[in-house]
Amino acid sequence: MAHFAEIDENNIVLRVLVVPDEEENRGQEYLADDCGLGGTWIQTSYSSRIRKRYAGVGYKYDENLDAFIKPKPYDSWIFDENSADWKSPTPKPDAGIDWYWDEDSKTWLLS
């Protein structure tokens, strides 16, 4: 089964639908025309083998990076073009313990 994300005029993902395997090569046309849904459809993959990650509602498709970008989780986080993902301003401690980001203090805190 192939998965395709519908994007709006701002490249924001509206929904993700499954396309039969035999229609994968023409997923855009299959969904827009054959199914009568219209819109713009971009293929995505659970395995993240294409477009960096599986698309989710609210993600943005970046044509230049050919990637689906998650919404920015915190105002202080910085976008990393290499991974097409958001990074905290300070690295997450690597101590094998559960940490969470505290935006007020802009630090990682123990769970």
DSSP per-residue codes, the chain = -EEEEEE-TT-BEEEEEEE-GGGGGGHHHIIIIIS---SEEEEE-TT--SSSS---TT-EEETTTTEEEPPPSSTT-EEETTTTEEE-SSPPP-SSS-EEEETTTTEEEE-
Q: What is the pLDDT along the chain (111 residues), one digit of tens a residue?
A: 899 999 999 999 999 999 999 999 999 999 999 999 999 999 999 998 999 999 999 999 999 999 999 999 999 999 999 999 999 999 999 877 899 999 999 999 988
Range(s) of the domain holding residue 33: 2-110
Q: How many domains does the chain have?
A: 1
pTM above 0.85, yes or no: yes
